Amino acid sequence: MKKHFSFLLRKETVLSAVLVILLLLGGFFAVSCGSWDIETDQVLKVLLVKLRLLSGGVSDVETTIVWDGRMPRLIVAFLVGFSLAAAGCIMQGLFKNPMASPGVIGISSGAALGAVIAIYLGLAARSLFALPLSAVAFSMLTLMMVFAIATSRGYTSISTLLLAGIAINLIFGALTSFVITLSTREFDVGRVIITWLMGDLNNRSWDHVHVVFSTTLLAYVGTLFFVKDLNILMIDEETAANLGVNIKLARNALLFLSSLQTGGAIAVSGIIGFVGLVAPHIVRGLIGPDNRKLIPIAGLLGAVLVIYADLFVRLVVKMDLKVGILTSLMGGPFFLYLLIKHRKRFEYL
């Protein structure tokens, strides 16, 4: 009895319960509130009918708003937040750095460039899947480029990997700006690109859900196979090698899975910054560094952050503020806090 009670009071159990409650509350407000408020019983009726758990007539207008408008947006927000936070956990674990995130080695900027090119060339207008495929492909291409630069004689230097990522970030950022400059000649195309780069969840559909659900599920399941290796790699590579960890395979696979999650998330939402930095750091401080618990719980916190940021810009702010702008406004000061907190660890030459 005591052991059972002790389990219920574990930090990770309490934190998970709190996050699930917050997700349920956020989900309720997301599907019931908006410019067209819908009664709770009608929302539940629409959901039950669409899930084939209830038969009966429902309003076509309310069905369209709830099921085809708000539900896809809510699910996309959840999956994007989960993916970015999970990718951030992997990056911070591999690099042993609390300030690491998917953007560190250029994955985010690569995915952004791929998506922007797809929009500019008109591919995104012809097929919904062109933009996600381009974003994921460029995130993978970025990963291969960074690894090719950082690898010599079969050995990949972590410090070189980070420096290569910074260089790729600068190059791809400049190329993205160049494409934006070209797109300004066509107002509609330029407006779409600018809006997308700000991080936007407007007009998400079930097709967007299918895209990000596929990348999130595939990457998370793959991560489960390497999560123990990640825990050992966080100690040091010599210990990992002595314990039989295939360091090269584990590191490459984890980076691949991180880029897959990041590319899939960016493909459907645009640039939503700092979620992959903030969520893992907060959860690690509360429950510790064990990635078997850290990754799923940080993923839940990332989902909470994105869902509530989207609720704020949709229900509270009266102007057309984008989700990515709000997360950057929240995450920027947090990043500065981390810099100040850890500055004593830095070496000055």
Concatenate the DSSP letters of all residues of 10-27 into one string: -HHHHHHHHHHHHHHHHH
Give 197-209 pLDDT, tens digit per residue.
888 888 888 988 9
What is the average per-residue pLDDT within 65-88?
A: 92
Residue 11 lies in a domain: no
CATH of the domain at 90: 1.10.3470.10
More confident residue, 2 or 172: 172
Specify burial of residue 165 (Cβ count, 10 A radius: 0-12, 13-18, 19+).
Answer: buried
pLDDT at 346: 45
Residue 1 lies in a domain: no
Q: How far apart are CA 71 and CA 323, in angstroms?
A: 17
pLDDT band, very low/low/confident/very high, at 6 (cuts 50, 70, 90): low
Residue 310 lies in a domain: yes
Q: Using the predicted structure, report yes or no on whether residue 54 has a pLDDT greater than 80.
A: no
Give 282-338 pLDDT, tens digit per residue.
898 889 889 999 999 999 999 999 999 999 888 887 667 788 888 888 777 777 776
Specify burial of residue 21 (Cβ count, 10 A radius: 0-12, 13-18, 19+).
Answer: exposed
Residue 66 lies in a domain: no
Residue 341 lies in a domain: no
pLDDT at 190: 75
Q: How far apart are CA 260 and CA 64, in angstroms?
A: 31
For the chain, give the mean pLDDT: 83
Q: Using the predicted structure, report yes or no on whether residue 225 has a pLDDT greater than 80.
A: yes
DSSP annotation of 35: S
Q: Using the predicted structure, report yes or no on whether residue 347 has a pLDDT greater than 50.
A: no
| Distance between start and end Cα atoms, the chain | 57
Which residues neighbour 51 within 8 Å (Cβ) at sequence distance 6 or greater? none
Among 136-150, 261-275, 319-333, name the one with the lowest average pLDDT.
Answer: 319-333
Q: Which domain holds residue 279?
A: 81-335
Give 106-120 pLDDT, tens digit per residue.
788 888 899 889 888
pLDDT at 342: 60
Torsions phi, psi of 156, nearest 5? -105, 120
Q: How far apart are CA 178 and CA 31, in angstroms?
A: 39
Residue 56 lies in a domain: no
pLDDT at 3: 54
β-strands 155-156, 151-152 pairing? antiparallel
Among 32-36, 253-257, 340-344, name the one with the lowest average pLDDT.
Answer: 340-344
Q: Using the predicted structure, report yes or no on whether residue 123 has a pLDDT greater than 50.
A: yes
Beta-bridge partner residues of 155: 152
What is the average per-residue pLDDT within 146-168?
A: 76
Residue 162 lies in a domain: yes
Residue 261, both tokens: 């999650």
Q: Using the predicted structure, report yes or no on whether residue 164 has a pLDDT greater than 90.
A: no
Q: How far apart are CA 84 and CA 277, in angstroms?
A: 9
Q: How many domains does the chain have?
A: 1
pLDDT at 33: 82
- Chain length of the chain: 349
What is the average per-residue pLDDT within 233-255?
A: 83
Residue 14 lies in a domain: no
pLDDT at 216: 94
Give 15-47 pLDDT, tens digit per residue.
999 999 999 999 999 988 877 777 777 888 888
